[in-house]
Structure formats: structure tokens, C-alpha cells
Amino acid sequence: MIGVYGMGGLGKTTLVQEVGKKAEKDKLFDDFVFVEVTETPDIKNIQTIIAKKLGLKFEDEKEDESERANKLYSRMKDKNILLIIDNIWEELDLKTVGIPSGADRGRSKMLMTTRKEDVLEKMGSTNNFRMNVLNEVEAWRLFKIMAGNCYSS
């Protein structure tokens, strides 16, 4: 589990998407899943997005949350998947969703973004990285790179 946290608008989502693209290009994982949680998480929707990206179909619309979680867990257990969970506002119970953690996760990795470090800690992530705003020197350097030769003093 790896977490990226910091205030809104810093580019956490962009960063983890680029990491995912690089990992996919380098064929580091068998499957890649990106799911956004949002401020008011909808477990059924999160389960549906993950299942669709893994080629898993829920056969009955009447399946309850735990049945769907069991199917997801079985599909993901001991696999080599990069799961990116974006925009987590409050602790997300991975077991309720059906996401294996601990020894059951196989070679899979989870990359998460949130605004609050304590959310990551509650979810068991210990490899957490804080994103900050750029200082003036870094911002000017980035501007010059992006603007090319068309900037002036």
C-alpha cells in the first residue's frame, strides 16, 4: 500500500495516473484498475467499476454488497494487480468492498490518494508521501519548461 496525500488541486490524481501508465507500459502488472471513491462513497458503484475493469460480471443485480465483495475478493486474491484508489475522503473498509489486503493480496499493489494522512494510516498504509505546493524557484523552473522559449522576464 502506498499513499499520496495533500491539499486539493496539487496533482495527486495526475501523479498516480502517470505511475499507472508507466507501470502498464512496462508490463509490471497483469491488470490495472483505477477507481475514484469521492466524498460520499458508493460501495456498489466502486465494486462495479473494479469488477468491470477486471472482466468480472455480477450476474444478478440483486446481489448484495457482501456477495459482490466475495466475488471481487476471489478474483483479486493472489493476483498481480495495480489498484489505484483515488480521492478517498474517509477510511474505506477494503474488506467490505472485496479488496484483499495483507497476505491475501499476492503481488498486487495499492496506490491511494487522499487529502488527509490519517485516512491512509487508518487503512493500514505506512508508505505515505505528502505532496506540497511548489516553492517559487520550482514553480518558475516548471513554467520555463512548459512555456519553452516564449517566456519573458
How does DSSP assign 13-80, residue by residue? HHHHHHHHHHHHHTT--SEEEEEEEESS--HHHHHHHHHHHTT---S-TT--HHHHHHHHHHHHTT--
Which pLDDT belongs to residue 148?
Answer: 81
Fold of 2-150: Rossmann fold (3.40.50)
Which pLDDT belongs to residue 77?
Answer: 87
Q: Where are the domains of the chain?
A: 2-150
Which pLDDT belongs to residue 60?
Answer: 72
CA pair distance 124, 92, nearest whole angstrom: 11
Inform me whether the pLDDT recorded for 153 exceeds 70. Answer: no
Mean pLDDT of 14-34: 94
Which pLDDT belongs to residue 63?
Answer: 82
Mean pLDDT of 110-123: 95
What share of the chain in percent tops pLDDT 70? 97
Q: What is the CA radius of gyration of the chain?
A: 18
Closest to 33 (Cα-Cα) out of 75, 68, 4: 75
Which letter does DSSP use for residue 10 in this model?
S
Mean pLDDT of 38-52: 92
Q: What is the pLDDT of residues 58-102, one digit of tens each?
A: 877 778 889 999 999 999 988 899 999 999 999 999 999 999 877
